[in-house]
Amino acid sequence: MSRASWKLWPCVALALVTSACGDEAEPPTAAEYGELLFRDARLSESQFNAFSCATCHATTPTPLNGRMDSGYTLHNVVSRPDWWGGYETNLLDAVNFCYVSFMRGVQPLPVDSPQSRALYEYLVSISPDAQAPALPYTVVKDIVEVPRGSLERGQTVYRAACQECHGELHTGEGRLTELASILPEVTRDYDELFPGIPHSLVVIEKVRHGQFFHIGGNMPAYSLEALSDADMGALLTYMGL
Ligand code: HEC
Ligand code: HEC
């Protein structure tokens, strides 16, 4: 699509998310509009969604210091041959998996919608290399106990991986959404909910599988690449589990 034909619609759609686009303002390019959508939880119409794409994905070549996201950085994402460890061979499907599973999008974004087109242009703009390798994605299938690690490492991992959504340990202070459980206090109900199962195993299950395997919710799952078993063990020490 030519640049000119991208010019008109973003302004109309952008008016929904900001008050920009006065007569004097230059209409944003599709990529600029895409970046706004990328950073705005209101991309999803669900009132229960508090996540934007940026909640889980960096866009810089390497992840920012102090951040351990469930999702990879999307720098060069368009240049990868496939996504989700080869499970997805179509980029929009890879995006829509997140949109529907984590952002509570009711319908996948249609291929010709202004949102998916703009998101695509933004992802192109952060993919400077012609080719980039596909990234590994290893789901931990069987949930087993992990050796506990150091308290200090656990605190670092908690801050880097969990705190943005869950807030401070024990209080939830600063959490992204009230829907994010207070850790580790949420485990107090586990004897009733999951009788006979050690609390730590339920937490490992949640972190490794997110909402899948019938637990529900919209927290993302952490692959082995996103969180090692050693860091999981340190996290459990920090949470006193
Ligand atoms: C709640 C966290 C979360 C949100 C929100 C989220 N994602 Fe993801 N995304 C993930 C996880 C986890 C993966 C799997 C690991 C990976 O491949 O990065 C993933 C994978 C992807 C991939 C495949 C990357 C690859 O190379 O395998 C793309 C593309 C993607 N997400 C785009 C998006 C876009 C665009 C949005 C916003 C519409 C979004 N995601 C929202 C967590 C999230
Ligand atoms: C992108 C935001 C996000 C991140 C990052 C995140 N969580 Fe969550 N988590 C949630 C939300 C929202 C819920 C409640 C909905 C659900 O269960 O999915 C939740 C629920 C939980 C639960 C409770 C499940 C239950 O209902 O008993 C546990 C345990 C948990 N998270 C642990 C973690 C740990 C440990 C980390 C860091 C490795 C982490 N979470 C990272 C958003 C997040």
pLDDT in tens, 112-135: 999 999 999 999 999 999 999 999
17 membership: H or E segment, kind and range: helix 9-17
Cβ–Cβ under 8 Å, residues 89 and 82: yes
Q: pLDDT-based confidence at 9, cuts 50/70/90?
A: very low
Q: Residue 54 phi/psi, 5° resolution? A: -70, -15
Domains in the chain, please, with CATH? 4-125 (1.10.760), 151-238 (1.10.760)
From the list 61, 68, 10, the residue with the least C-alpha distance to 36 is 10
Q: pLDDT-based confidence at 8, cuts 50/70/90?
A: very low
- By residue count, the chain amounts to 241
The mean pLDDT value of the chain amounts to 90
Ligand 1 pocket at CB < 6 A: 43, 51, 53, 55-57, 70-72, 74, 77, 80, 83-84, 94-95, 98-99, 102-103, 119, 135, 137, 220, 223
3-state SS class at 114: helix
Cβ–Cβ under 8 Å, residues 74 and 84: no
Angle CA 78–83–85, to nearest 5: 150
Ligand 2 pocket at CB < 6 A: 51, 55-56, 70, 161-162, 164-166, 177, 179-181, 183, 186, 203, 206-207, 211, 217-220, 222, 227, 235
Task: Tell me how far apart the alpha carbons of residues 241 and 238 are, in angstroms, rounded to a whole number.
Answer: 8
pLDDT value of residue 22: 56
pLDDT in tens, 129-138: 999 999 999 9
Note the pTM of the prediction, 2 decimals: 0.92
